[in-house]
Amino acid sequence: MTTPADQPDPIRCTSTTRPHHPPYGTRVLEEDTGLIQRFHSGAYGSGWSVDGTTDARRPPAYRALLAATDGLAREMVELHRPEPDIVHGNDVRRWRCAGCDAEGCDWEHPEWPCRTSQLAAERADVSLREDHYTVESG
Ligand SMILES: [Zn+2]
């Protein structure tokens, strides 16, 4: 994560209690859920929005892909990592690829797994199907 020089350094906090009034505009909160949230304030109001996540929260298929690759392939898998796209509560409903470059003016991040991730998975013989992984609880 990069922080422009004119902004304060993001604060990482693992507390489950959210501060209601951050001392300044932008701040990053990493809760026990693994979701990294950013406080924003502006003309349309203020609040927390999901900014990223920790590897532990990313899809099992992504973690399997990381484990199965090394060298350049692994670097490409890491670059094309999934980031939360649609979040309801603490549930990530859709992942977007953080590594695909923009094209056109009406561009949106493609859904993860993107074609690069699919190619890497195919070569590494890793399944990207969610139902091929059992999610540990707790
Ligand atoms: Zn991608």
What is the reported pLDDT for 23?
Answer: 44
Q: Which residues surround ligand 1, an ion (CB under 5 A)?
A: 80, 97, 99-100, 114, 116
| 75 C-alpha to ligand 1 centroid (Å) | 12
Backbone angles phi, psi at 65, to 5 degrees: -65, -40
Better-predicted residue by pLDDT, 4 or 68: 68
Is pLDDT above 80 for 59? yes
State the distance from the centre of ligand 1 to the C-alpha of 88, rounded, in angstroms: 23
> Looking at residue 25, what is its pLDDT?
40
Separation of CA 125 and ligand 1 centre (Å): 18
pLDDT at 34: 77
As a whole number of angstroms, the distance between CA 62 and CA 59 comes to 5
Backbone phi and psi for residue 77, each to the nearest 5 degrees, phi listed first: -60, -40
Average pLDDT, the chain: 78
- Which CA distances in Å does 64 have to 61, 126, 136? 5, 7, 14
Burial of residue 63, with CB atoms counted within 10 A of its CB: 0-12 exposed, 13-18 middle, 19 or more buried? middle
What share of the chain in percent tops pLDDT 90? 37
Average pLDDT, integer, range 24-43: 67
List of E strands, 43-128: 45-53, 82-88, 91-97
Note the pLDDT of residue 101: 79
Q: What is the pLDDT of residue 16?
A: 46
- Give the residue-averaged pLDDT of 77-104: 88
Asked if residues 91 and 36 have their Cβ atoms less than 8 Å apart, the reply is no
